[in-house]
Amino acid sequence: MSQDRIGLSELDAVIAVARRGSFRQAAIDLGVSTTALSNTIAQLEARLESRLFNRTTRSVAITEAGRIFLEQVGPALQDLRTALDAVRSHNAGPSGTLRINAFASAARSALLPLVMEFLKHHPKVHIDLVTEGRLVDIVADGFDFGVRSTSLVPNDMIVIPLGQPQRYAVVGSPAYFEKHGKPRTPSELLQHQCIRVRLPNGAIFPWYFERDAEVIRLDVSGPLTLDESSVVKLAVQEGMGLGFFMEQDVRDEIRAGLFARTLEDWTPPRDKLCLYYPNRRNPCAAAKAFIDLARASQAVEDGLA
């Protein structure tokens, strides 16, 4: 079979494996067996006469040839899908699948309300939302949209602000503060027990503070290092130490009296979240409708509509 007969499913397979770094996880995303996915990649490599991935029993790594292939195919595949969706929706209205990549906290606080409202008006559209901590190239990885802090968005993307500016929040249980007192300055956190958070890349997330142009970055210490926000919340609630969250992620716990807050004057508003996407000349009907709703929702948020 010639190279010209390569199908969309094979290209989707390459993108999925590269994004996940795992045949098993990519197979789950695609709804196929790991064996079938492995065979698809192996057959494609044979046709291309190039190895796209180096595989061991424990890891999968993209090769240089695979990287070049992905950089060229990812945008082209997205353009092709956009063209197909545009034809499908010409008479029937928005349909097809929109793929969105976001931080988990961003998805909860700013994106999900927008998605729910969108699906009420466009039931023929399917939203595939992927939440992860790492930054991705949304074009190369086959996403229509991304949601991140404004400062993290590549310069060549179109940006729509979402919601209000974010703030960090230092919180602890009332019992913890009763026993240990509240820190009055960020430096006093070094004498407190703090729950550290490990990022997906293995790095420990530092705690950031700012007041009157003074910026402080702290590497705190404490009894626990965790990598999942809900588990950090449980540890804070049990009085194991202080936690450092996005404000919107602990607003309900603060209102319920489960958490108390400190150092508010050191956690001013930061970058807004934003929806971002590449500049395509003819976006599909579903993408255009989603963009229009995002712009209208932000206009209401800003009091302009």
Contact call for residues 27 and 37 (beta carbons, < 8 A): yes
Q: Which CATH architecture has domain 168-266?
A: 3-Layer(aba) Sandwich (3.40)
pLDDT of residue 220: 94
Least confident of 15-29, 75-89, 95-109, 196-210: 75-89
Q: Cβ atoms within 10 A of the Cβ of 273, count? A: 28
Where do the CATH 1.10.10.10 domains begin and end in the chain? 3-62
Asked if residue 130 lies in contact with residue 174, where contact means CB atoms within 8 angstroms, the answer is no
pLDDT of residue 177: 96
pLDDT digits (tens, 9 = 90+) for 189-243: 999 999 999 887 788 989 999 998 899 999 999 999 998 888 999 999 999 999 9
Q: What does residue 15 show for φ and ψ, rounded to 5 degrees?
A: -65, -40
pLDDT digit string (tens) for 176-189? Answer: 999 999 999 999 99
Residue 3 has pLDDT above 60, yes or no: no
Could you tell me which of 35, 2, 29, 5 has the C-alpha nearest to residue 15? 29
Q: Find, among 132, 141, 154, 9, the residue nearest to 62 by Cα.
A: 141
Looking at residue 304, its pLDDT comes to: 52
71-165+272-301, which class in CATH? alpha beta
Edge-to-edge order in the sheet of strand 168-172? 243-246, 168-172, 260-262
pLDDT recorded at residue 1: 40
Q: Where do the CATH 3.40.190.290 domains begin and end in the chain? A: 168-266
Is residue 101 within 8 Å of residue 153, measured between CB atoms? no
Residue 195 is encoded by which pair of tokens?
């729950």
Lowest-pLDDT choice from 7-11, 41-45, 94-98: 7-11
* Number of neighbouring beta carbons within 10 Å of residue 234: 13
Question: Tokens 């940006």 sit at which residue?
Answer: 159
| Helices marked H in the chain | 8-20, 23-30, 34-48, 64-92, 104-106, 112-121, 174-180, 229-237, 247-255, 285-301
Distance CA 210, CA 166 (A): 14
List of residues 6+ apart from 72 with CB closer than 8 A: none
- Least confident range from 69-73, 205-209, 261-265: namely 69-73
Four-residue CA torsion sign, 66, 70, 72, 76: positive
Q: Which tokens belong to 32?
A: 């196929």
Q: CATH number of the domain at 3-62, out of 1.10.10.10, 1.10.357.10, 3.90.660.10, 3.90.550.10?
A: 1.10.10.10
Cβ neighbours for 42, distance < 8 A, ≥ 6 positions apart: none
Residues 6+ positions from 295 with CB-CB distance below 8 Å: 160
Taking the model in full, what pTM does it have?
0.58
Question: For residue 89, what pLDDT band results from cuts at 50, 70 and 90?
Answer: low
| Closest-CA residue to 138 (of 75, 84, 64) | 75
The CA dihedral of 132, 134, 137, 143, to the nearest 10 degrees, is: 0
Could you tell me which residues come within 8 angstroms of residue 254 by beta carbon, excluding any fewer than 6 positions away? 169, 171, 260, 261
Can you give the length of the chain in residues?
Answer: 305
Q: Is the dihedral of CA 64, 66, 67, 69 positive or negative?
A: positive
| Alpha carbon distance 246, 258 (integer Å) | 16
